Amino acid sequence: MGARSLLILGASGFLGPHLVAAARAGGWRTIAASRAPAAAPSIDGVAPDARIEWDAERPDALETLLARARPDALVLAAALARVETCERDPARAAALNATLPERAARLCRARGLRLVHVSTDLVFGARAPRAERFGEDDPVAPVHVYGRTKAAGEERVVAEDPAALVVRLPLLYGESGGRGLGASDALLAALARGERPTLFSDEWRTPLEAGDAARALLELVAGDARGRLHVAGPERLSRLELGLALLESHGLAPGRVRAATRAELGLAGRPADVSLDAARARARLATPLRAPHAALRALAERSAPLP
């Protein structure tokens, strides 16, 4: 009997190549589907077993893809994730972030496929957490179209496939294959251009390295958890604190970034705190969810020095 096959939707995004690497390391036959599969980078040179061009916005695209790929499990990491784009085109955001997950859940249930759907901490933000961080049972309260459509997608997945798992991820950082994606590579790219980026001192997240997130997701694909689960880092940090940790890991002066509050920049409508409580995940997972200082130091050891 051959290896079980995993279909990854959204394989060319920031998280996608990390999912491919984690799946291959876990012994899965890995099928990566995205709009431009040939352009998808790899992590540590690990490529999927197969790449399939897939347009998520075609009405019959998912049915056709599942019939062609015939996977044993599916990770849905495709989304319209840029907040500004979602605000400009809420109909497209709803199609990709709510309707697509609903269709995936319906098809996976009908075919008996394991589904892990990737969601976001930005389903919160309009209200402060009842405790220090948001738990899985806290009511969602998004502040923008992206968060609202992702919250709708969660609800539809759970309703369509009770065996599916929705994993809320936090702000991710880590290697992006030179594309300047994610919280750390975007900041490093700005520094390399000679910029002095502004980071918020009053915007709180629970950041997680993308490789850790991918390995946790693959462990969950192989398990039987259902409903909703928070997979996040152990530390609640402001965007400024995360940036300073990145500078420290590269031996750079803290003055390379500028501190500001959301109000100072006229951005008070941004969510102040979407930090996640990942205690349930840590109790279930063997995969370590590392603190940013440790993960960033490990990443810095592998990267070229900055000017």
CATH fold, domain 174-206+236-273+291-301, is UDP-galactose 4-epimerase; domain 1 (3.90.25)
Measured CA to CA, the distance from residue 114 to residue 159 in angstroms comes to 15
CB atoms within 10 A of CB 34: 23
The encoded tokens of residue 58 equal 């075609």
Task: Determine which of 123-127, 190-194, 298-302 has the lowest per-residue pLDDT on average.
Answer: 298-302
Residues of the chain with CATH 3.40.50.720: 5-172+209-230
With 0-12 / 13-18 / 19 or more C-beta atoms within 10 angstroms meaning exposed / middle / buried, residue 166 is: buried
The band of 1, judged by pLDDT with boundaries at 50, 70 and 90, is: very low
How high is the pLDDT of residue 193? 93
User: Of 14, 54, 134, 146, which is the active-site residue?
Assistant: 146
Condensed to tens digits (0 to 9), the pLDDT of residues 80-116 reads 999 999 999 999 999 999 999 999 999 999 999 999 9
- What is the model's pTM? 0.95
Rounded CA-CA distance 40/53 in Å is 11
CATH number of 5-172+209-230: 3.40.50.720
Calculate mean pLDDT across residues 49-72: 93
Is 173 one of the catalytic residues? no
The residues of the chain that CATH labels 3.90.25 are 174-206+236-273+291-301
* CA trace torsion 233, 236, 238, 242 (10° rounding): -40
